[in-house]
Amino acid sequence: MRASVPITVDGLKSACSQCNLVELCLPFGMSDRELSRLDELVGARRKVKRQHNLYRAGDSFEAIYAIRAGSFKTDVLLEDGREQVTGFQMTGEILGLDGISTEAHSCNAVALEDSEVCVIAYDKLEQMSHEIEGLQLQFHKVMSREIVRDHGVMMLLGSMRAEERLAAFLLNMSQRFTARGFSPSEFNLRMTREEIGSYLGLKLETVSRAFSRFQEDGLIAVQQKHVHLLDLAGLKRLIQHQHGAR
């Protein structure tokens, strides 16, 4: 059992207008004037320690969260204990959108490392969306992007083979690290093989074997959580031409 939520709300005002994550986060595409108004919206920051929950399924929904530092996973649990990881989130990405529909969260959000989020009270967001032109549109785009992402995961889970899934996962990570100014080809994963497996609908052994296979084939170099993508094009080819198929 994991320890329960040790919330640390420090009073620090988070200013979107000062934040270097603007192009990745909710304020994307907004004017300077709009941006300064947005600073009112983001109430406080909250630190979440590794392995601790930002929220849990069933928690009443009050706010959405923008990741300022660190990373998270979201998962849903079945009564019999089976876990499905529904996503991994990095800086600038928004957590908690699932809660709007029923006013309670429907999944768990767990920090993969010591992390910090900006708390955006939902009622304030609603209100401010009426006032700030670009905010409403941008918020809709964030939600829509999540829907599109989810469809991609369905494609992955429903129609791809184990190695294709892992290749798609690695390319997706690469792309997101790149967008954050990191190397497209070398990074440290924050999640375990088991979590990757849960996300990809595979067992951890299968994930591990696929990593080894990619290494044998010269596509990547892995050591534990450190991944070096040696042949981006090769990985992409893997996804498109369903090789084993006739």
Partner DNA sequence: CACACCCGTTGACCCAAGTCAACCAACATT
Partner DNA sequence: AATGTTGGTTGACTTGGGTCAACGGGTGTG
Judge whether 110 and 52 are in contact, CB under 8 Å.
yes
Chosen residue from 100, 171, 222, 232 binding DNA by CB under 7 A: 222
Task: Report the run of H or E that residue 72 belongs to, with start and end.
Answer: strand 72-77
Per-residue DSSP letter, 59: P
- Among 206, 214, 219, 220, which residue interacts with DNA (rule: CB under 7 A)? 206
Going by C-alpha positions, the residue among 59, 58, 42 that lies closest to residue 7 is 59
Subset of residues 167 to 196 that bind DNA, contact rule: CB under 7 A: 192-194
Of 2 and 130, nearer to DNA (C-beta) is 2
| Helices first, then strands: H and E counts in the chain | 7, 12
The residue among 74, 75, 66 whose CA lies nearest residue 116 is 66
The yes or no reply on residue 204 touching DNA (CB under 7 A) is yes
CB-based contact 177:183 (threshold 8 Å) = yes
Of 19-27, 123-131, 142-150, 204-212, the segment contacting DNA by CB under 7 A is: 204-212
Q: Which residues bind a second copy (CB under 8 A)?
A: 74, 76, 78-80, 82-86, 97-102, 106-107, 126, 129-130, 136-137, 140-148, 150-155, 157-159, 198-201, 240-242
Residue numbers at the binding site for DNA (CB under 7 A):
161-163, 192-194, 201-209, 211-212, 222-225, 244-246
